[in-house]
Amino acid sequence: MSDAPSAAARRPRVLSGIQPTADSFHFGNYLGAIRQWVGLQETHEPFFFIADLHAITMGQPDPAVLRERSRRCVAQLVAAGIDPSRSAIFLQSQVPAHAELAWVLQCLTGFGEARRMTQFKDKSAKDGEGSASVGLFTYPVLMAADILLYRPEFVPVGEDQRQHLELTRDLAGRFNHRYKKTFRLPEPYILRQTAKILDLQEPTAKMSKSASSPGGIIEMLDDPRVSAKKIRSAVTDSGSDVRYDEEHKPGISNLLTIFSALTDRSVDDLVKAYDGRGYGDLKRELADAVVGFVTPFRDRTLALLDDRAGLDAILGEGREKAVAVAERTLADVYDRVGFVPAGR
Ligand code: ATP
Ligand code: LTN
């Protein structure tokens, strides 16, 4: 069964996920991805999920910590403006079709093709490829399954996920060609300006949960005074004029990007406003903007975390919406591959 005939009457779908691999989202996650999720729910039919299956690819976290982080993700999504009455918010592990479709897609993925994924190369290089899990290796195929099940038009992510989206499109095309048109080829939705927020201490690397030092990353749930201090201590560049120049002034350019995104003022406008003033003024005023932004976000998240039953209800509703769509796609796939349907 295809859902194409009624698709015209529906809003186009959008889907994305985030891993519960830290106690808090950071500014890269928020500005690079989640802010776009919030905007897209106005015009699209949204599916947003917590990628807890992906979160165990880099080792086995304490089960209690993983559960807590998953709930924190839900609370932060809602605090950021994802509205559970409009968007399905769910846990990947509660929709078995993700792992089931991933298996079928793994059988269509070349070993060499998986090996070329740069995130696998980067992450497995840390402890040596031999000790990386097979799950880390097949991570992008599970991600393709996450996406293709929902036949979304757009997938809003940061720049680091672009290659995984390309693999997803390749696998969708391969399945459609090998069997019958089943999957929509999704488009990445990556906003150029905020596609890669950089580490404050090492402004050539991306701000990252797993790789950044504490001083390099602004955590949304941190004490706002700590975040303000991190902005004031951010590594800046030689010279003293405030100018957007990614190559020669990566530190200042990154601060301008963050400032612009938080205040909706253009980078040009900010550069004019700081003309003739030093880095110190820029940092101080950006630190104030950061405090003004994270304080209410943190308060809302902490209040939501106090209502466990409320969070579980959001996940229950999200799961129901997700299962309805995912099971239909999986049934199409199983049929086309040639699996015998279970008797009633
Ligand atoms: P890790 O460092 O462990 O890979 P992460 O910090 O990249 O984790 P994810 O859960 O993998 O976090 O990413 C969630 C979303 O945030 C993805 O869409 C990702 O592209 C985006 N994102 C992560 N870091 C940045 C960044 N520095 N700039 C822009 N977008 C980012
Ligand atoms: N790999 C993504 C998380 C993720 C995802 C997805 C994003 C898993 N499945 C499907 C978009 C669509 C990351 O952020 N590192």
pLDDT tens digit sequence for 118-133 = 999 988 888 787 889 9
| Residue 206 a catalytic site member | yes
Residue type, 225: R
Query: Across-strand partners of 88?
Result: 47
For residue 4, is pLDDT > 90? no
In short, whether 209's Cβ falls inside 6 Å of ligand 1 is yes
Of the candidates 253, 248, 247, the residue with the CA atom closest to the CA atom of residue 193: 253
Span 222-251, average pLDDT: 94
The tens digit of pLDDT for each residue in 280-331 reads 999 999 999 999 999 999 999 999 999 999 999 999 999 999 999 999 999 9
For residue 1, is pLDDT > 60? no
* Catalytic position from the list 196, 206, 230, 283: 206
For residue 5, is pLDDT > 80? no
Span 29-54, average pLDDT: 97
Cβ count within 10 A of residue 306: 9
Reported as half-sphere exposure (CB side, CA atoms, 13 A), residue 70 has a value of: 25
Q: Among 18, 56, 118, 168, say which to mutate for ligand 2: greatest number of ligand atoms within 8 Å of CB.
A: 18
Report the pLDDT value the prediction gives residue 2, as an integer from 0 to 100: 44
The tens digit of pLDDT for each residue in 166-218 reads 999 999 999 999 999 999 999 999 999 999 999 999 999 999 988 889 999 99
Instruction: Tell me if 198 sits within 8 A of 204, measured CB to CB.
Output: yes
Report the pLDDT value the prediction gives residue 42, as an integer from 0 to 100: 92
Ligand 1 closest atom vs CA 160: 20
For residue 38, is pLDDT > 80? yes
| Residue 181 a catalytic site member | no
Report the pLDDT value the prediction gives residue 294, as an integer from 0 to 100: 97
